[in-house]
Amino acid sequence: MKTQDRYLMFVQWSEEDRAYVGYCPDLFPWGGVCHGTTPPEAYTRLCEAVLDTVRSAEAQGLPLPPPRTRPMREVELAA
């Protein structure tokens, strides 16, 4: 698995920004890092930002934060 694939990334609509916003809480804890007019556009930009951050940190020998954030899943109760 590639390093960048270990981090949770998601896109969410923002009424305030009137755009889709990309998030990666472990690498960018301050909030959204990119916008797009469609979810795929925002996600593509988010993936580029995460990859750039990972590559820059690795090139400089800087540690990356551990991937801690995990998506919540709905629990299906057994019948």
Q: Averaged over 2-18, what is the pLDDT?
A: 95
| Least confident window among 17-26, 32-41, 66-75 | 66-75
Task: Please state, in angstroms and rounded to a whole number, the distance separating the CA atoms of residues 8 and 27.
Answer: 9
Taking the CB of residue 24, how many other CB atoms lie within 10 A of it? 22
Work out the pLDDT band at 79, boundaries 50, 70, 90. low
Q: Averaged over 19-32, what is the pLDDT?
A: 96
Work out the pLDDT band at 38, boundaries 50, 70, 90. very high
The pTM is what? 0.85
Work out the pLDDT band at 74, boundaries 50, 70, 90. low
Element (H, E) at 10: strand 10-14
